[in-house]
Chain A
Amino acid sequence: MTRVLIVGAGPAGIRAAERLVGAGLRPVVVDEGARAGGQIYRRPPDGFIRPPQQLYGSDAGKARALHALFDAMAAAGQVDYRPQSSVHAIRDGVAHVAATRIPYDRLILATGATDRLVPVDGWQRAGVFSLGAAQIALKAQGVAIGRQIVLAGSGPLLTLVAAQLLAAGAGVAAVLDTSPLAAQVQGGIGMALARPTVTARGLAMRARLGRLYHAGVRLERITDDALHWRDAGGRAQVTECDAVALGWHLRAETQLADLAGARFAWSDTWAQWLPVADQMGRAGRGLYLAGDGLRILGADGAEVAGALAASACLDDLGIATPDTRALLRRARRLTRFAAAMARAFPWPGAQLDALPDTAVLCRCEGITLGQMRAAADHGGPEANRVKSLGRIGMGRCQGRYCQLAAADLIARHAGLAPRDVGRLRGQPPVRPVPIGALLDD
């Protein structure tokens, strides 16, 4: 039987598995989570009792359906499910999971996304988390990240996490959005045209934040007990807090796609490098991509993309698949929505311009902006050279949380566009792995 490997058991990976199983294949599904669902539909451990409606809100039905679908496939042995497993390397048709090797004929990567971060002076302190982390803490553990929380950044998650924390009884001190209202109105029109109900739901959620919410802000620095910022009128503001959650929309998790040979192109819409694939997700010989790791379309888009990638895989194997025209139409509509959303919540360039040389850019190794600029001056404004000289992107997170900001800062420093400073190449291991796992040959 053809060996198909799916990496990731979020909405994209689950829908891909469903389609392969429907065609009589038995894919291997490797996932980092303890239970399938991915991050957005992440499930708490056994013994937690809040119902799906409380965890996933209006998307509870979708979450339940995906969980039930995957659990049924796993229980029936229709998928070879490997939970709590990380692929750290891919080479020559073999995926490496610590000391385990998984050879495959076809590879479907559904690796999702992380928060997209830009540095804020002081963000290396304990008590500063990503927005996604604030949501995971609440959803999967039933905890708030602090007593007086400031949520800051931009993107759909900002409003969503704030609303979820308030509903759960957490102390939210402020919700600070770097996107100006004008950009939100402009993008919002496109969002409403593509998905009126979803857009209305977001607006209602925003309205519930009331006076906690401020648009068009600039974050200046985080101290032990406060966040310093400027409001849309440029006035200095200080909000006392004991926790900060930061995030600017999402960053596609593409390191495995890189190792598997995908090509990349700079996307102005999403302000990041994204893998190149056809509309079905074909990204190379036997390589298929789906979900936020390919295009930041969110959970609904990931379900569609997972089904499409599996269909492409089956098609290439000469196995008949259900008609995909309706899925492709839906994917196009979700893409219009996502592109409008990206315009509504843009990359916070002005904030980067104001960062001091002493601000930490790489949280892993405490490398400052000044050190990065010195490396760029010494070796030239190219991302991989700055990495070699200044270690930006070489720390334990492998550049996940600094590389987009670093590239933009290098570009601003040199007067170039971000695409002109190049893309950090992924390097194995993309996750930490014990040395012992690498020594057996």
Chain B
Amino acid sequence: MSGQLVRLAETGRAPVAFRFDGQDMTGLLGDTVLTAILLGTGSLRPAEFGPERRAGFCLMGACQDCWIWAEDGSRLRACSTPVAAGMRLLSTAPERWPA
């Protein structure tokens, strides 16, 4: 599916390759994880308490809606974490978590 977000400006930055739920994705240097993921897809994660999916809400670190996982079992707040080359991210906890 197409992304939730649309890039309007600042397109001249270097590409950054990462993985999200096993898919190869590319952001630009300076994108947050939230920006980089939502340019390519419609949401960040399933909701824990309802059937819907979530894509963040406040984008300023106040609502905590955009916490996602890394394949190593760590968690990160997507709106305040810059995307970095080689990140391996997940919308849900890794299968063998907690290890």
Contact = CB atoms under 8 A, between A and B. Distances in A.
Interface residues of A, number: 51
Interface string B33-45: 0010001001110
A52 interface: no
B10 A115 contact: no
B6 interface: yes
A138 interface: yes
A158 B38 CA distance: 23
A365 B4 contact: no
A242 interface: yes
Interface in A45-66: 45-50
B57 A141 contact: no
Interface in B40-99: 42-44, 47-50, 52-65, 67, 77, 80, 82
A128 B20 CA distance: 22
A47 B12 CA distance: 9
Nearest to B63: A397
A141 B35 contact: yes
A133 interface: yes
B30 A44 contact: yes
Contacts of B61: 32, 86, 431
A138 B8 contact: yes
Contacts of B35: 137, 141, 143
Contact of A137 (B5, B47, B48): B5
B73 to A, nearest CB: 12
B50 A115 contact: no
22 contacts: A45-B30, A48-B10, A114-B62, A126-B42, A126-B43, A127-B4, A127-B55, A129-B55, A129-B58, A129-B59, A132-B58, A133-B57, A133-B60, A137-B59, A141-B32, A144-B6, A146-B5, A169-B8, A171-B6, A367-B49, A397-B63, A397-B64
